[in-house]
Amino acid sequence: MTDSSGSPDDRSSDAVSTAGGSTTERSTTERSTARQLQVETHGLDVIGDAERKGTPKTLFWPWFGANVSVLGLSYGAFVLGFGISFWQALVAGVIGIVFSFLLCGFVAVAGKRGSAPTMVLSRAACGVRGNRLPSVVSWVLTVGWETVLCALATLATATVFGRLGWGGGTGTQVIALVVVAGLTVVGGVMGFDLIMRLQTVITVVTGVLTVVYVALVADHIHWSTVSALPAGSAQEFIGALVFMMTGFGLGWVNAAADYSRYLPRSSSSRGVVGWTTFGASVAPLLLLVFGLLLAGSSTKLNDAVAADPIGALTTLLPTWFLVPFAVVAVLGLVGGAVLDIYSSGLALLSAGLRIPRPLAALVDGVLMIAGSVYIVFLADDFLGQFMGFLTTLGVPIAAWCGILLADLSLRRRDYDETDLYRPSGRYGDVPPTPLILTLLATGLGWGLVTNSAASWLDWQGYLLGPLGLGGTSGAWAYANLGVLAALAVGFLGTLALGRGRVRAQEGAV
């Protein structure tokens, strides 16, 4: 028996792999048609061994496709906005991207070991119902990201059409929003198989067209101007590094096991970490370098990116490449949004909502459209709100990530898949230690970050003064130390306090 979300609830281990009422004991006929596209019925349930396929190399495609977006070029302007030099921005970007996606790689190992979505595996660390708190945060983060990506694709399409003289006003934006949202919602509702195929296509198309874009605008780079950018302070460098972490890997850690759970249990853990990190990092690294060169060469472009991160990039293009650019921009952003809406649906189920996974993705799609309407038609400051969103949710996600990674490092055995769904099982219901660590790390983190561009977040930074860091207007105000502090407290606190709990879990019969 399964509940309406497809998640097992206090049942025998032979029913754990049930999905939406259909077991993994498929007939020969069903296996022969497995390659046909159909709506994925799996929700929070465990993926049966018969359905686990592929190798760690297959993780390259979804992660590359989700991060090959030309938005990566705009991060060059974002990071230079911290007032640092080209070389400082490059180092901050490389460390921030690679380290944050390495965290995703480690979380992805849990998927191979446990065969369940990320926010279900998290129950081993946070308790079956105690895990609802990080699940809600995860859901808000992924819905927020898919909304941002959908809105950016809409704005970029309207900008391109405007330059071509085909409109570009409200009517164009409405049509673009409908098309982009439609592609995203269909991918999220259909599920894993369509997403894997879609990401492969997106990878090839966007990869080729992005190379063409780079070739066309390369003559706008002026190294003398870029190299003359003055260096910033250590605090500004740290702020840029943390921003890159929250903009890339920390925006994905809560979904990192959602795709590796389909790999066979015998898959190499090193391969899972390596291919996840490589696939997710390689495109952002290359795009960041070129974005830094472009933004550093033109103050005008740098400022324009803050208002329209994708559309501003079209100002450098010849007219004949505007339509291909629109294609690469939309596909790249849709690639990321599809992974987000798939994982946001799973997070919503893990938070306690009992509905089928496709319906959860549809609910998130409606919220995504509503948020996109606000960004496209009502908001007048994209970058400020975007940075505030990333930093604010980056703190509790970093705290949860630290707890999960420490818990994973302490485990010597695979997860008990039945007990992941039973409050009375070995993982507990609402264990106090991870809950207290999450709240403590989040409270500390929010006290060490500021978001002056977003007025609704001016309550943050309340510890900067008491800790002698200059208050909310001092040198450390924009270093965003709170994200790193939350990650460290969650990780070190769990290592120190969670060892006995993990050993008791693994020793239970």
**71-123 pLDDT per residue, tens:** 888 999 999 999 999 999 999 999 999 999 999 999 999 999 888 899 999 99
Mean of pLDDT values over 166-176: 83
Residues with Cβ within 8 Å of 185's Cβ and at least 6 positions away in sequence, in order, are: 341, 361, 362, 365, 368
Judge whether 476 and 238 are in contact, CB under 8 Å.
Answer: no
Most confident of 128-132, 155-159, 352-356, 379-383: 128-132
Q: So what's the pLDDT on residue 27? A: 37
Q: So what's the pLDDT on residue 44? A: 80
Q: So what's the pLDDT on residue 130? A: 95
| Cβ-based burial of 247 (10 A; exposed 0-12, middle 13-18, buried ≥19) | buried
User: In CATH terms, is domain 53-383 a member of 1.10.3720.10?
Assistant: no
In our burial notation (b when 16+ CB lie closer than 10 A, e otherwise), range 423-436 reads bebbbbeebebbbe
The C-alpha atoms of residue 18 and residue 2 are separated, in whole angstroms, by 7
**394-422 pLDDT per residue, tens:** 899 999 999 999 999 999 998 998 999 99
pLDDT at 31 over 50: no
Most confident of 56-70, 167-181, 391-405: 391-405
- The band of 383, judged by pLDDT with boundaries at 50, 70 and 90, is low
pLDDT at 11 over 50: no
Percent of the chain at pLDDT above 90? 48
CA distances to 69, 213, 224, 322 from 209, in Å: 11, 6, 28, 11
Backbone dihedral angles phi then psi of residue 423, each to the nearest 5 degrees: -60, -25
pLDDT at 330 over 90: no
Q: So what's the pLDDT on residue 337? A: 87
pLDDT-wise least confident of 23-27, 64-68, 210-214, 271-275: 23-27
Q: So what's the pLDDT on residue 453? A: 66
HEC readout, 123-164? HHHHCCCCCHHHHHHHHHHHHHHHHHHHHHHHHHHHHHHHHH
Domain with CATH 1.10.4160.10 in the chain: 53-383
* The model's pTM: 0.84
Is the model more confident about 348 or about 13?
A: 348
Backbone dihedral angles phi then psi of residue 215, each to the nearest 5 degrees: -65, -35
Q: Which residues pair with 22 in a beta bridge?
A: 19
Mean of pLDDT values over 20-38: 42
Q: Per the structure block, which two tokens stand in for 357?
A: 């996974």
Mean of pLDDT values over 144-165: 86
pLDDT at 235 over 90: yes
Mean of pLDDT values over 472-483: 91
pLDDT at 385 over 90: no
Mean pLDDT taken over the chain: 86
Residue type, 453: A
Q: What's the gap between Cα 211 and its chain centre?
A: 24
Mean of pLDDT values over 380-393: 75
Q: So what's the pLDDT on residue 38? A: 73
Q: So what's the pLDDT on residue 37? A: 63
**301-310 pLDDT per residue, tens:** 888 887 778 8
CA distances to 386, 469, 481 from 461, in Å: 18, 10, 10
Q: So what's the pLDDT on residue 50? A: 83
pLDDT at 62 over 90: no
Is the model more confident about 270 or about 152?
A: 270
Per DSSP, the residues of 164-187 read: HTS--SHHHHHHHHHHHHHHHHHH
**279-290 pLDDT per residue, tens:** 999 999 999 999
pLDDT at 490 over 80: yes
Judge whether 139 and 132 are in contact, CB under 8 Å.
Answer: no
